C-alpha cells in the first residue's frame, strides 16, 4: 500500500512516474503538449489522477467549487510534480453556468476525466425525488455537459481521451446506496453512447470502474458503518469483511492505483480501447465482463 505524506493520510500517493514495465521493457507515457481537465480534483481520486497526468507531462486543470481547497490541491500537486503546468478553475459543474465558466477559461482539452461525484448511504425507501435528481445532476449530467462541450474539438483535431470515473456500484448495486449505484450505471451507458458518437475520429471514450477506494469521504463512510471506536486499519478490515467481502484485494484501493489506469487510458497506448468499462476494482466485481 502506498505511504501517504505526513499531514495527508489518504489523498495522494508518491508521484506517478508515467512509466510502466512490461515484457518488452519500459513503457513511457508522454502527454507533453496535451491539456487535461480533471473534475472534482481538489482531493482524493481526482487529485491523484491530476498528479498522474501532470507527471506524464500534461498541462493539468483542477476543478472544484472552493478556491481555497483548489489552492491547497495545486500546492500538493506541485509538491509531487514540481515542474508541472497546473491551473485551477473554481466552478460548480452541476450547473450549466459552471460548465460555461470552465469552457471560457479552458476552451479546448485533449484529455477529459469526469471524476466529479457524490455518494452516501440512505434507506432506499426514504430517498426523495429531490435526492434522486441531485445524484443524477452531479454524477451524470455534469459529465454529459462537459462531453458535449469538449468532444467536438477533439474530433476536429483527430485525437482525444474522455474517461468517466464510474464505480463497482454501477454493477453491484449496494442496498444502502441504490441512488448512487443507479447514477453510476447510467454513466456506463453515457460512455458507451458517446464512444459511438466519436467512432472513427481518433477520440476514445471509456468508463473506469473504480472499486472501494481509500479517500476522505470513504473513510467517513467506513466509520459510519463499523463505528468510530476502532483504529483505522481495524476499521478498514472490518468494513471489507462485512460490507465488501467479494474483494480479492482484501483492502481499500489507494487513489494512485486508480490514477495509474487513467494515465494509461489517456495515452496513445490506449488508442484501441474505446466504448469500454475498464475495471480497477481489486477484483470486487464477481464477473468475467462488467
- Kindly state whether residue 288 falls inside one of the protein's structural domains: no
- Residue 237 domain flag: no
DSSP state of 1: -
Do 64 and 31 contact (CB within 8 A), yes or no? no
Q: What is the pTM of this model?
A: 0.89
Residues 49 and 112 sit within 8 Å (Cβ to Cβ): no
Beta-carbon contacts of residue 97 (< 8 Å; ≥ 6 apart): none
Q: How confident is the model at residue 75 (pLDDT cuts 50, 70, 90)?
A: very high
- Look at residue 4 and tell me if it is in a domain: no
Give residue 166's domain range.
28-213+253-280
For residue 232, the tally of other CB atoms under 10 A from its CB is: 13
**Does residue 37 fall inside a structural domain?**
yes
Cβ 44 vs Cβ 38: under 8 Å: no
Task: Report pLDDT digits (tens) over 208-242.
Answer: 999 999 988 789 989 999 999 999 999 999 999 99
pLDDT the model gives residue 18: 55
Q: Please identify which of the residues 150, 180, 264, 284 carries the catalytic annotation.
A: 180
Task: Tell me the mean pLDDT in the region 170-177.
Answer: 92
Mean pLDDT of the chain: 91
CATH of residue 67: 3.40.50.720
CB proximity list for 13: less than 8 A, separation 6 or greater? 2, 3, 4, 48, 254, 255, 256
Per DSSP (E only), the strands in the chain are 19-22, 25-28, 35-38, 59-64, 86-90, 111-114, 160-167, 203-210, 277-280
Task: Tell me if 105 is assigned to some domain.
Answer: yes
Predicted confidence (pLDDT) per residue in 84-105, tens digit: 999 999 999 999 999 999 999 9
Residue 88 included in any domain: yes
Torsion sign (Cα): 93, 97, 100, 101? negative
Q: Is the model's pLDDT at 17 over the cut of 80?
A: no
227: its cell numbers: 463505528
Q: Is the residue at 287 inside a domain?
A: no
Domain count, the chain: 1
pLDDT for position 5: 34
284 catalytic per annotation: no
* Structural domain includes residue 71: yes
% residues pLDDT > 90 (the chain): 82
Amino acid at each position: 500500500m502506498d505511504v501517504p505524506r505526513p499531514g495527508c493520510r489518504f489523498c495522494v500517493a508518491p508521484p506517478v512516474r508515467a512509466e510502466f514495465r512490461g515484457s518488452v521493457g519500459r513503457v513511457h507515457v508522454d502527454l507533453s503538449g496535451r491539456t487535461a481537465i480533471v473534475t472534482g480534483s481538489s482531493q482524493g481520486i481526482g487529485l491523484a489522477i491530476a498528479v498522474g497526468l501532470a507527471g506524464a507531462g500534461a498541462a493539468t486543470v483542477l476543478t472544484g467549487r472552493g478556491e481555497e481547497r483548489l489552492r491547497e490541491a495545486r500546492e500538493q500537486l506541485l509538491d509531487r510534480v514540481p515542474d508541472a503546468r497546473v491551473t485551477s478553475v473554481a466552478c460548480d459543474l452541476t450547473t450549466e453556468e459552471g460548465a460555461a465558466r470552465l469552457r471560457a477559461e479552458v476552451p479546448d482539452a485533449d484529455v477529459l476525466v469526469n471524476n466529479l461525484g457524490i455518494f452516501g448511504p440512505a434507506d432506499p425507501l426514504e430517498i426523495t425525488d429531490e435526492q434522486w435528481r441531485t445524484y443524477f445532476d452531479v454524477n451524470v449530467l455534469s459529465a454529459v455537459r462537459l462531453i458535449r462541450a469538449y468532444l467536438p474539438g477533439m474530433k476536429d483535431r483527430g485525437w482525444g481521451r474522455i474517461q468517466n470515473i464510474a464505480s463497482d456500484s454501477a454493477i453491484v448495486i449496494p442496498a444502502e446506496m441504490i441512488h448512487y449505484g443507479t447514477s453510476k450505471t447510467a454513466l456506463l451507458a453515457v460512455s458507451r453512447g458517446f464512444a459511438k458518437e466519436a467512432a472513427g475520429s481518433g477520440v476514445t471514450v471509456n468508463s473506469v470502474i473504480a472499486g472501494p477506494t481509500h479517500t476522505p469521504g470513504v473513510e467517513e463512510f467506513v466509520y459510519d458503518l463499523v463505528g468510530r471506536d476502532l483504529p483505522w486499519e481495524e476499521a478498514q478490515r472490518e468494513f471489507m469483511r462485512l460490507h465488501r467481502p467479494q474483494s480479492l484485494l482484501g483492502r481499500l484501493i489507494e487513489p494512485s492505483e486508480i490514477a495509474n489506469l487513467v494515465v494509461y487510458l489517456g495515452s496513445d497506448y490506449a488508442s484501441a480501447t474505446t466504448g469500454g468499462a475498464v475495471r480497477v476494482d481489486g477484483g470486487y466485481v464477481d464477473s468475467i465482463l462488467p
